[in-house]
Structure 1
Amino acid sequence: MEEMMDDVVAALSDADCWQLLAEEELGRLVTHVGDVLDIFPVNYVVDGESVVFRTAEGSKLVELTVNDEVLFEVDHYTDAFAWSVVVRGRARRLSTEEEVEAADALALRPWLPTLKYNYVRVTADSMSGRRFRRGPEPDRYGIAEY
């Protein structure tokens, strides 16, 4: 990972971002249609330099069909550090037999006992990530000498 800026915040490279994304399973997909923004939790896998998730028919699939521009965000924290990665990209339902067969081979299973027949791939146009060192807030005012 890149060096910490001021030992508190570090910008992450794209390679760092993909590595961190691959270590997690739950992210948030943000869609935008007209004046409406929606956010959906989705379990996912990283496939190369893209994110793949499954979904049932419904508002999420309709919204990304109307406007394929999405944000995908994942974060993680411990007592010592935290990180956040945001992927700005395009979401596309996988439709060819070859695409679906390849997606079926991924280690991607629904977390809920529901049928989800649609695979969606989010391809990054850009991404950003930050890593944070956690700790107590510094003294805001200092100690006044009297």
Structure 2
Amino acid sequence: MGAHQERGPGPGREEDAHHPARIGSKTAANQCDPTAWVYDVGENSDCSVDALISDNVADIIRAFARWPSAKASFATKFVNPDLLLLDPRGRTRVRFSVMPQEDSKLLDIRTSPVESRIAAAGDFLRYRGGVKSRAVETMRTLVAGNAPWLRIRYAF
């Protein structure tokens, strides 16, 4: 399991729909999330692309929005602004890959340009209090140190 995953089968299949309720509240914070059990819902596909052709991703996001002790998470290399029309209520995390364009296109032809992925991250992030300023500084530091040729379009 990756660092962003939690134990358990996870919601998404009918028999797992009540898993968050069965395991209850998270009692100890970890690197995944301080309060919610995090489920990787896109291990074998790109949910941003899947959302273009079916309502399954929207259904998953709506389900997690109802579970206060759970959060969905998926990585993507594709910018799908339609995901912003859904109402995840802070219960879905979208992780934009910043894999270099040449490598990501080799692995998946549906990949959006890396500049678009980084720029879109700002559209998908919503913050409270001082979290925003710390996140902006962290992102700027990471980009400056690892990909100085990229520009940050949004001050997110």
The bucket for the TM-score relative to the shorter chain is: under 0.3
Please, what TM-score do these two structures have when normalized by structure 1? 0.27
The structure with more radius of gyration: 1
Larger fraction in strand: 1
Larger fraction in helix: 2
Higher RCO, 1 vs 2 (CA within 8 Å, ≥6 residues apart) = 1
Please, what TM-score do these two structures have when normalized by structure 2? 0.26
